Amino acid sequence: MDQPVLLITLGVLFLGGLAADHIGRMTRLPRVTLLLLIGLMAGQSGFNLLPAQAHDWFEPISVVALTMVAFLLGADLTRENLSLHGRAIFALSIMIVIGTALIVWGGLSLLGLDPGLALLLGAIATATAPAAMADVIRQSGLRNSFTETLGGIVAIDDVWGLILFGISLALVHGSGGWSGPLVTAGYEIGGAILLGLIVGGPAAALTGRLKPGEPLRTEAYGIVFLTAGLALWFEVSFLIAGMTAGAMIANFARHHDYAFNEIERIELPFMLLFFLLAGASLELDALWSLGWITAAYVGLRIVARLISAEIGARVGRVPASEVHLYGPALMPQAGVAVGMALVAAETMPDWAVTIMSLTIASTVAFEVIGPPVTLAALRRQARTA
């Protein structure tokens, strides 16, 4: 791409992000949804205003942005937070993952879809959108037990989802042996946790020493980029690696009061570009390509989220005013689901078109309707607390 075009495109994207942030403050709409819609209008499904090379930026920007989000989510997994909300976090995250997979699998099977394909789609449906969730929570300005529990759930539910996806893929692909999919899932998760410990341990010990009281911005860049790069190099989950490293720093850093204030300051430009380019990459045609299956999948995931979160909230003994709110709040779905779909499509090529089209379609739907529902749940909880 020519340098003038590159700089002009970046300038327009950043100004578009600024406009979305301002409109969000005026209208109380989630910034995430506005950014996605602006990207959608500028992208291939809209007016196709972005240069073709802009789509090549999405993967590296998304890796950096999501690794930053993972660090911030890991910060919610402190000993103090887990001692206060640990029962709710684990009960809700486990029930939501299991309930979503079972209801989507059962519903699609009853509607005539191949049970093996339905099982894979149920496992993919367990994924949430950590970036969208984190941005909506931050935009709301709320910090209470509800948002702390939500942060913990989002930080850990994708771990359970990846484990369940690995088991489901092994069941469906059983004729080729169990070992491949299970070993792959185990390596991706276990390797990411190990990498997070290796990066997070020294970072917790060293961060804040150069400037007492708070870490330097350069430290934040260095730790995030190092974690993301090593995760890609070793082909493990950068989300889980970032979450683990973030939890290590939050629990063991002793040289400053706010371990993550610099990451919060540097993430906004990456998040703006991430959501704008995510919107630009969405394909509206995918919403209609599978007809009734798309509507059934989206509807089943909504029902599954509401029912399983209700059960998990009661098992987790959350306050009565919050029981009905976790399902709506955890509706967004994005990148992790697409990653699962890519693996499933590669393993089961006969179902590749259906898996990818359906996952992209649900991503379009849940990234547009999910954040407003999350924000409404946050505001409802704040009014009733």
pLDDT digits (tens, 9 = 90+) for 221-273: 888 999 999 998 998 888 889 889 988 988 887 765 555 666 766 777 887 78
Q: Is residue 167 part of a domain?
A: yes
Q: Is residue 26 part of a domain?
A: no
Q: How confident is the model at residue 72 (pLDDT cuts 50, 70, 90)?
A: confident
Q: What is the pLDDT of residues 108-151, one digit of tens each?
A: 999 989 999 999 999 999 988 887 888 888 888 888 888 888 98
Q: Is residue 317 part of a domain?
A: yes
Counting the structural domains of the chain, the total is 1
Distance CA 265, CA 275 (A): 17
Distance CA 375, CA 142 (A): 10
Q: Is residue 332 part of a domain?
A: yes
Q: Can you give the pTM of this predicted structure?
A: 0.78
Domain hosting residue 114, numbered range? 56-384
Q: Is residue 143 part of a domain?
A: yes
> CB of 297 within 8 A of CB of 364?
no
Structure token digits, residue 176: 């080729």
Q: Is residue 30 part of a domain?
A: no
> CB of 293 within 8 A of CB of 117?
no
Q: How confident is the model at residue 178 (pLDDT cuts 50, 70, 90)?
A: low
Q: Is residue 15 part of a domain?
A: no
The stretch 270-292 carries a mean pLDDT of 71
Longest dimension (CA), the chain: 62
Question: Which CATH number belongs to the domain containing residue 142 in this structure?
Answer: 1.20.1530.20
Q: DSSP letters along 233-244, please? A: HHT--HHHHHHH
Q: Is residue 127 part of a domain?
A: yes
Structure token digits, residue 165: 């996806």
> CB of 30 within 8 A of CB of 271?
no
Q: Which residue has the tokens 């989220």?
A: 305
Q: What is the pLDDT of residues 191-224, one digit of tens each?
A: 989 999 999 999 888 776 666 555 567 788 888 9
